[in-house]
Amino acid sequence: MIAIAGVGGAGVSFALAVAGEGVGVEMGEPLVLAILTACLTLSYVLCGLLAWRHRPASRFGSLMIAAGFINFASTLVWATRDVPYTLGQALDLLPPVLFLHVFLAFPDGRLRGRSVQGLVAASYVTAIALELVRMHFGDFGPRNLLEGHANPATAETVRQVQLTLVSVFCLAGVGVLASRRRQAGRPLRRSLALLIDAFAFSLVMLAFLFVSSAFDGPWVAQIRWATFVTLALAPIVFLTGLLQARLARSALGDLVVELRADLAPSDLRDALARALRDPSLDLAYWLPEFDTYADVDGRPLDLSDLGRSRVTTLIDRNGEPVAALLHDTSLQDEPELLAAATAAAGIAVENGRLQAELRARLDELRGSRARLIDAGQKERQRLERDLHDGAQQRLIALSLDLSLLEERLAGDSEATTSLDRAKREIAISLEELRDVAHGLHPAVLTGHGLQVALESVAARASVPVRLTVKLDGRLQERLEVAAYYVVSESLVNIAKHAHATSATIDVARANGHVVVEIVDDGIGGADTERGSGLRGLADRVEALGGRLRVWTPHGGGTRVKAEIPCV
Amino acid sequence: MRVAIAEDSVLLREGVARLLAESGMDVVAQCGDAEQLLAELGSEPVDVVVVDIRLPPTHSDEGLRAALEIRARFPSTGVLVLSQYVELGLAMKLLADSAEGVGYLLKDRISDVKEFLAAVRRVAAGGSAIDPIIVSTLLSRRRTDDPLERLTRREREVLDLMAQGNSNQGIADKLVLTLRAVEKYVSSIFTKLQLPATGTESRRVLAVLLFLRN
């Protein structure tokens, strides 16, 4: 609708110009002016429409459309009837002020700052009120229906004042644009700068045009043409910027694809920087437990102290902050791009944060499991030691005493018999205690290491065992204990379930790991979850950050392999 | 015969000292740790030391290290190591390349006074005393194509006692056999196991243990 209206308006302007002035081909000025005016209307209306569709929330598009239609309305001065002529005349100076408004309201359609708002308001007053004053004093000839008290001299003075003021306002607008350009940041600098330059140049041309026509300078017609061309080009430059933003959105597509992969935090930053075309971009993670933002390496960041050229965009999920983007101020001119990027990043960051949290909890769990096993092991060692130093020693000493007593009572057979019985009881107790103590902790392991400890285990196995231990020196005790239990428990399993005829045990150090492998030639098909003790072994190995794997095909023997990192 | 004792349990140390003294041995030193034992040995020649394998300060391998050091520094001193557990690996480590003047017994054996004193004397004289548990572990060890199956029951008994360090006479006494009969069994065992005949008793202990171990 608006597009048709715009085209129609442009057509009407053109028709009015041609019909009203009754131009011939030789009359260059009205024809060229008519074409340029029509182009100007079309340029603003159509570009405004595109901008509107592209950013419905922004008033910039509608402002451009308004500028286009007001420009059309001002061409009513070419109408033959008096009423439209008068109306067109009253609006004659409004388009340049609207252009000024449009340029200063870039990019979101709002005028930022009191001074800018004042400047635009003053321009409107100058354009409309002084125009009406001029009409009152009889400017613009007999078809001016608003003529009150004809006074050509006053009208001329007002005209000069009005045009000069508009020129000054336009130049002030140039100043505003120049200061804004200085603030523009790095990534958008080229497209933004070009646009701001186009606006500023248009304003300069307008100012020049008005000064020339106020004081009847030379080449007014040509200057007007050039000004119109410049004005019509500004929306085109704007459109180019829009197109680039759209290209940026396709970069967003790449970002989303990249985010699907499992990105490291630093890669996520790089992907965002690429998508937003801001090499200075930083990613800050929200750490709720510390109530602060931190960079990828966990260093706390103060988001309130970023300087003028950088701002923060928060990324939240379900109302909770998860991260923040620290980026160039100019990115705020592309709010949809930023919104889309933060939405995409929000998912990835949340994902990464959850993963980090999960990893932290896993580490914590592994740590607490290791501590539990360590504590249990220490307790068992202590108990074994207590038994060794206490009850066992005392029983042996007691048995020795009984032996000495027995020798002394050599003649008394009744006494020696009961002493003998007592000694046998003590011997059985000692044996039981020894089993208990050894079950608590194989003391030989602490004193003499894995090789010595495993030799006895292998010798006592139910099947012939070939034991190969290739370790240079001792391992950490917890590793030795874990390896010892992996071997002894596997041999118990072989005795109970495997129906094997032989087994091999290999213990070696490889790539910073202790590798313990027990292979038998039995029936396989071991139950790895219940009864076999394999679950407990896996717990012990995994608690040390290692891995226990079991291959047990039916009829194919069983292979148990534990790999534990040597820290 | 001069004996030194290293045992951190006072109760046991004094018990052993009394036992040895009552049997007519000269207990020249009673030590609570390995360091003290080595110091005593440096100043006084000793025929045999009785040493606990777990000694202060860490109660891990001090006793064994002391035993190995004594074997290296005082080759004429016999070393009898006592332990609450006997481990095959430790026995092999202790013997290294000779069973001469070495004993490794479960501490419980002390209360079998006669056997214990015999072991002390044997080790002091350069013989060996290997705990029956070690030997039985080795004998009962599962083997593919077990050469021990070629032995008779009696031969196995003789092998058992031989591996513990008993002399032929000692074996004869224990099994109530004549010395000649034992000698016959021994030579038969060596032939069946294809072991080369060795001179001294301690050499044959090592040979038999090494054979059984593999």
- Per-domain boundaries in chain A: 2-246, 265-364, 445-565
- How do residues B130-184 score in pLDDT, each as one tens digit? 999 999 999 988 888 888 889 999 999 999 999 999 999 999 999 999 999 999 9
Instruction: Classify burial at A470, counting beta carbons within 10 Å of its beta carbon; exposed 0-12, middle 13-18, buried 19 or more.
Output: exposed
A125 touching B (Cβ < 8 Å): no
Token match 């960051």: residue?
A349
Would the CB atoms of B87 and A455 count as touching at under 8 Å?
A: yes
Q: Which of A401, A423, A455 sits opposite B15 (nearest CB)?
A: A401
Count helices and strands in chain A by DSSP H and E runs: 16, 10
Provide the pLDDT for residue A157.
87
Q: Which of B19, B60, B138 sits opposite A447 (nearest CB)?
A: B60
In whole angstroms, what is the distance from residue A21 CA to residue A485 CA? 108
Would the CB atoms of B16 and A400 count as touching at under 8 Å?
A: yes
In whole angstroms, what is the distance from residue A263 CA to residue A517 CA? 36
Provide the pLDDT for residue A294.
81
Which residues does chain A have within 8 Å of residue B85's beta carbon, measured at their own beta carbons? 434, 437-438, 443-444
Instruction: Classify burial at A297, counting beta carbons within 10 Å of its beta carbon; exposed 0-12, middle 13-18, buried 19 or more.
Output: exposed
All residues at 6 or more sequence positions from A520 whose CB lies less than 8 Å from its CB, including other chains:
A463, A494, A498, A500, A502, A503, A557, A558
- For the record, the structure tokens of A86 come out as 């008068």
Provide the pLDDT for residue A358.
82
Would the CB atoms of A448 and B16 count as touching at under 8 Å?
A: no
- For the record, the structure tokens of B164 come out as 């513990």
Chain B's closest residue to A442, CA to CA, is B85
Neighbours of A140 (CB within 10 A): 20
| CA-based nearest residue to A9, from A49, A50, A51, A39 | A39
In whole angstroms, what is the distance from residue B133 CA to residue A341 CA? 75
Provide the pLDDT for residue B132.
94
Provide the pLDDT for residue A3.
66
A378 touching B (Cβ < 8 Å): no
Write the DSSP symbol of residue A412: -
In whole angstroms, what is the distance from residue B54 CA to residue B49 CA? 15
Interface of A with B in 159-188 (CB under 8 A): none
Residue A41 DSSP SS3: helix
Would the CB atoms of A452 and B87 count as touching at under 8 Å?
A: yes
**Are B54 and B24 in contact, with CB atoms under 8 Å apart?**
no
Taking domain A2-246, whether its CATH number is 1.20.1070 is answered by: yes
What is the distance in angstroms between the Cα of A546 and the nearest Cα belonging to chain B?
27
H/E run at residue A422: helix A413-440
Provide the pLDDT for residue A249.
65
| CA-based nearest residue to A385, from B54, B52, B35, B5 | B54
Q: What is the dihedral of CA A377, A383, A388, A392, to 10 degrees?
A: -140
In whole angstroms, what is the distance from residue B91 CA to residue A467 CA? 17
Q: Which of A427, A452, A465 sits opposite B108 (nearest CB)?
A: A427
- For the record, the structure tokens of A184 come out as 């523009």
Residue A516 DSSP SS3: strand
Beta bridge partners of B102: B79, B128
Which residues does chain A have within 8 Å of residue B22's beta carbon, measured at their own beta carbons? 404
Please list the ranges in chain B whose pLDDT falls under 70: none
Q: CA gyration radius for chain A?
A: 46
CATH number for the segment(s) A445-565: 3.30.565.10
Q: Which of A396, A401, A454 sits opposite B108 (nearest CB)?
A: A396
Cis-peptide into B57, omega within 30 deg:
yes
DSSP secondary structure letters along A69-117: HHHHHHGGGG-SSHHHHHHHHHTTTHHHHHHHHHHHHTTTT---SHHHH
Chain A's closest residue to B214, CA to CA, is A466
- For the record, the structure tokens of A210 come out as 């008005």
Q: Does residue B196 come out as left (phi exceeding 0), alpha (psi in the -120 to 50 range) or beta?
A: beta
In whole angstroms, what is the distance from residue B84 CA to residue A80 CA? 127
**Are A143 and A85 in contact, with CB atoms under 8 Å apart?**
yes
Which residues does chain B have within 8 Å of residue A487's beta carbon, measured at their own beta carbons? none
- How do residues A407-455 score in pLDDT, each as one tens digit? 889 889 999 999 999 999 999 999 999 999 988 999 899 889 999 999 9
In whole angstroms, what is the distance from residue B171 CA to residue B155 CA? 11
**ipTM of the predicted structure?**
0.91
Half-sphere exposure of B59 (CA within 13 A, CB side): 12
Q: Given CA atoms A379, A383, A389, A390 in this order, what sign does their dihedral have?
A: positive
Chain B's closest residue to A450, CA to CA, is B89
Domains delineated in chain B: 2-130 (3.40.50.2300), 136-213 (1.10.10.10)
Please list the ranges in chain A whose pLDDT falls under 70: 1-3, 6, 9-10, 13-30, 183-192, 245-250, 260-265, 306-309, 333, 353, 530-532
